Amino acid sequence: MVIDIKTVVTAVFLAIGCFLFIVASIGVMRFPDFYTRLHAAGKVDTMGQTFILLGLLFYSGFSLVGIKLVIIMAFIYIINPTATHFLTKAAYVRGLKPWVRGDRFEPYIEVEAAGDGGQPTRPRKPAGRLKR
């Protein structure tokens, strides 16, 4: 097996991306609260896929495959922060309280147990502020 410089640079980029993916997984598992877990889910995951796709882009060079890799990178750069923003907005509108220092567990509201056709457990904010 021939070790050339292209393979080495690709391996370094893939290693950085895999490290960021592992960090994101540990953060999603271990953070105490939904809003803090979104930091790991929104930012670190995006950077992990960025490094892995940069390594593959360096491996394949500038061709149609490279253009498709850039397209996927741009898609995920738009998609992941938009989904994170929408998750935060939905949780805030439904009344999920953030974690504060001193709480042992996550403040737990029963969103599913409302059972009255999707009515929020707390009165919604005025519609002029939060309406998109």
Residues 98, 101, 105, 109, Cα dihedral to 10°: -20
Give 22's Cβ-side CA count (13 Å radius). 6
Q: Binding to another protein by residue 56, rule CB under 8 A?
A: yes
Q: Give the DSSP letter of residue 125.
A: P
Q: Binding to another protein by residue 14, rule CB under 8 A?
A: yes
Q: Binding to another protein by residue 2, rule CB under 8 A?
A: no
- Answer whether 67's CB lies under 8 Å from 24's CB: no
- Answer whether 52's CB lies under 8 Å from 14's CB: yes
- Answer whether 51's CB lies under 8 Å from 11's CB: no
* Chosen residue from 5, 61, 62, 112 binding another protein by CB under 8 A: 112
Please give the angle made by the CA atoms of 25, 84 and 116, to the nearest 5 degrees.
105
The number of residues that bind another protein (CB under 8 A) is: 57
Residue 102 C-beta: closest distance to another protein, Å: 18
Q: Binding to another protein by residue 74, rule CB under 8 A?
A: no
* Chosen residue from 81, 101, 109, 122 binding another protein by CB under 8 A: 109
In a 3-state reduction of DSSP, which class is residue 106? coil
Q: Which residues bind another protein (CB under 8 A)?
A: 1, 7, 10-11, 14-15, 17-18, 21-22, 24-26, 28-29, 34, 37-38, 41, 45-46, 48-49, 52-53, 56, 59-60, 64-65, 68-69, 71-72, 75-76, 79-80, 82-83, 86-87, 89-91, 93-94, 96, 106, 108-112, 117-119
